[in-house]
Structure 1
């Protein structure tokens, strides 16, 4: 089994509920979406990946393991384009694992084995220039329900910009809470980087929290790896 791999590296998780954990990151090339805030746009292009086998990636990961490593993060691009590669990898190397996904492949997500954590991005219409469809949100909800049924550790991540419309934000977050019928799912509000763009919009961050807190278990976490100037 082969897949296009942009890079394999060790760093500190700067987002979500595993923030601060040392992880080994496997970044796949290729994505089905074109979000305008993407912080790794090079990974969208399949040509930026090197075709590697599962064994080759396993060897690269083994070289990077240190005593403080908590888990491996499969990211991208969109890692669920390579679900069978990931399954084979985790059969060969037993590690705690995180999938960072846009959640638009519920069937593939349900095919994952031996996964411990899943981060699902909730997309807003403003995240796209002209390619938004309702199917994106519908599949994110399907993915979350599948993970809830499988009792996998999950959290949502929603990127906000200073320009994000509060009423649209509330409609989306309320819809997530209503469709999942629980307030227990963590929602990470992630301010877009660089954080300096929020200098004159700090009050809006509190408004996002207050709105989301009505519907889900909400936290606000910026991209900490950007502060540390690490990958």
Structure 2
């Protein structure tokens, strides 16, 4: 079994609730979506990856281990295009496992044998050039349902820009609350990079936080690896 891999590298997690943790990132090539804000566009096409076996990936992981290593992050592209490949690695390591996913492949998410944390994007219509539809959101909700039912640690990430419509966020927040009324889970609002664009627009971040804070625990966290100028 082989999968297209763009890169395997060690760095600090720059996003979400495991921010600052030393991780080994396994970046897959290939994605089922085409987001217009993607900061790794070369990972969208599977042909940009090099086919590697789980054994080759594990060998590289072992080479990159450091005393401060916290976990492995499977990212992309979209890692859940390759659930069986991920399971091959999960079976052969005792390191903590993080999955960074767009959440639109609930059946594949359900297949992963062990996940210590899942970062699940909630995609907005503005993230696409005309090809967003309600099925994207519905599949993300199915993925969330699976995570909740299986008691897996996760958070939702919503990437916003200064032009993001507050009413769109309000509608999605209300839909999330309606479907998961008994769950008090976490949403990370991620201001889109570069951070300079927020210099005169930072006030709206409080509006988004207050709106979602009615139903959820909310963090507002930028991409710190961009600020530090590291991968």
Coarse TM-score class (shorter-chain normalised): over 0.9
Partner of 1:82: 82
Alpha-carbon distance between aligned partners in 2 of 1:123 and 1:51, rounded to the nearest angstrom: 29
Alpha-carbon distance between aligned partners in 2 of 1:93 and 1:219, rounded to the nearest angstrom: 31
Please tell me whether the aligned partners of residues 183 and 217 of structure 1 are also in contact (alpha carbons under 8 angstroms).
no
Shift of 1:199: 1.1
Alpha-carbon distance between aligned partners in 2 of 1:15 and 1:209, rounded to the nearest angstrom: 17
Residue 5 (structure 2) pairs with residue 5 (structure 1): yes
Task: Report the 3-state secondary structure (helix = DSSP H, G, I; strand = E; otherwise coil) of the residue aligned with 1:92.
Answer: coil
Alpha-carbon distance between aligned partners in 2 of 1:82 and 1:180, rounded to the nearest angstrom: 28
Partner of 1:206: 206
Alpha-carbon distance between aligned partners in 1 of 2:212 and 2:60, rounded to the nearest angstrom: 40
Alpha-carbon distance between aligned partners in 2 of 1:190 and 1:178, rounded to the nearest angstrom: 23
Alpha-carbon distance between aligned partners in 2 of 1:159 and 1:2, rounded to the nearest angstrom: 31
Shift of 1:182: 3.5
Shift of 1:90: 0.9
Partner of 2:140: 140
Partner of 1:219: 219
Query: Post-superposition, which runs of at least 4 consecutive aligned residues in structure 1 deviate over 4 A?
Result: none
Shift of 1:180: 1.3
Structure 1, unmatched stretches of 5+, are none
Partner of 1:66: 66
Alpha-carbon distance between aligned partners in 2 of 1:147 and 1:229, rounded to the nearest angstrom: 33
Paired residues for 1:63-212 under 5 Å? 63-182=63-182, 184-212=184-212
Alpha-carbon distance between aligned partners in 1 of 2:183 and 2:221, rounded to the nearest angstrom: 19
Shift of 1:183: 5.0
Task: Report the 3-state secondary structure (helix = DSSP H, G, I; strand = E; otherwise coil) of the residue aligned with 2:182.
Answer: coil
Alpha-carbon distance between aligned partners in 2 of 1:230 and 1:42, rounded to the nearest angstrom: 17
CA RMSD of aligned residues (A): 0.8
Instruction: Kindly provide the CA deviation profile for residues 10-55 of structure 1, in whole angstroms up to 9, marking residues without a partner as x.
Output: 0000001000000000000000001111111110011110000000
Shift of 1:77: 0.2
Instruction: Kindly provide the CA deviation profile for residues 49-80 of structure 1, in whole angstroms up to 9, marking residues without a partner as x.
Output: 00000000000000000010000000000000
Please tell me whether the aligned partners of residues 157 and 189 of structure 2 are also in contact (alpha carbons under 8 angstroms).
yes
The TM-score normalised by the length of structure 2 is 0.98
Alpha-carbon distance between aligned partners in 1 of 2:2 and 2:89, rounded to the nearest angstrom: 11
Alpha-carbon distance between aligned partners in 2 of 1:183 and 1:167, rounded to the nearest angstrom: 22
Compared CA separation, residues 193 and 182, structure 1 to 2 (3 A): farther
Alpha-carbon distance between aligned partners in 2 of 1:18 and 1:156, rounded to the nearest angstrom: 13
Shift of 1:155: 0.3
Structure 2, unmatched stretches of 5+, are none
